[in-house]
Structure 1
Amino acid sequence: MGDIVARELISLADDEGNSVTVSVLGRHPSWSAGLEAEIVVRTPFVSGRIDLALSTSKLESWATALNRLDIGEDVVWMEWDRGPSVSIQLLGERGCPEVVVEDESGSMVTVRVPLAPPDDWIADHRQRLHQVMNHWVPMLSA
């Protein structure tokens, strides 16, 4: 698999121009057990990005979140960590899934992005997670 695939942990987009991505940028420059990453939100109305540090435990908690989504439960990923959190509500306020990116500890800004992902998006994201874990985790120190 290409390196580009191993960089995109989350890529949710629709044909209305709304998207939320979480991309791995590389090993964290000052934390040997972490990865430098970013969350990017793009909509026709608002766009933004925020830095994110990912650990093996955060990647494992994303696997748990995908399992919960697969059985029809809403999730909040990284809720108790310092830094941003990502919520996925399968049936949001507008009758379609919504991704909510919250930066409670930094800018105190919350962005709610309604989008309609493809039917196989959970399986696709399990594959993305698998690729990220295989590519990046062996490079991290415990």
Structure 2
Amino acid sequence: MIHKKNPVAALRIKHKEVLEQEKELIRRAELLVLDTLDCDLDVALPYPTLVSALKKFDDVASWLAPTAWSLLRDWLQTSLYMQFEPHYLAVAALHISSVILKNWDVSDSDIGWIEEFHVTYQQFSDICQQVEEMRDLSNIIV
């Protein structure tokens, strides 16, 4: 938009400090548009809850953590973060990683542990089922 009014403006963007100013101006404009549309892009992430849960299972945390972390990172590309609260995802990632690794099932130790993170068994089951459906679908596509 600026370059249409001033043809020299495009040349100014080659200067690094001008580029940074323009990027900040664009970022602010985008946030203003999103705020006007009443969009909330402040996404809470499940990583702090995952760390808390891993501390609860300290004896197996070292081998569960990478898989659970990877699952959460992969789920960023899905709609799960918009459908479920972060602590639901953290609990599901911990459980699913234990199932994937097949050495220890966190649900075997005490099914009540999920309730410590304010997740009901039904919510937990819904997330796990949806993840399983996504995994089955990706196997069909690939």
Give the TM-score band, short-chain normalised: under 0.3
Q: Which has the higher strand share?
A: 1
> Which protein is bigger by CA-based radius of gyration?
2
TM-score after normalising by structure 1: 0.27
Kindly indicate whether structure 1 or structure 2 has the higher relative contact order, using CA contacts under 8 Å at least 6 residues apart: 1
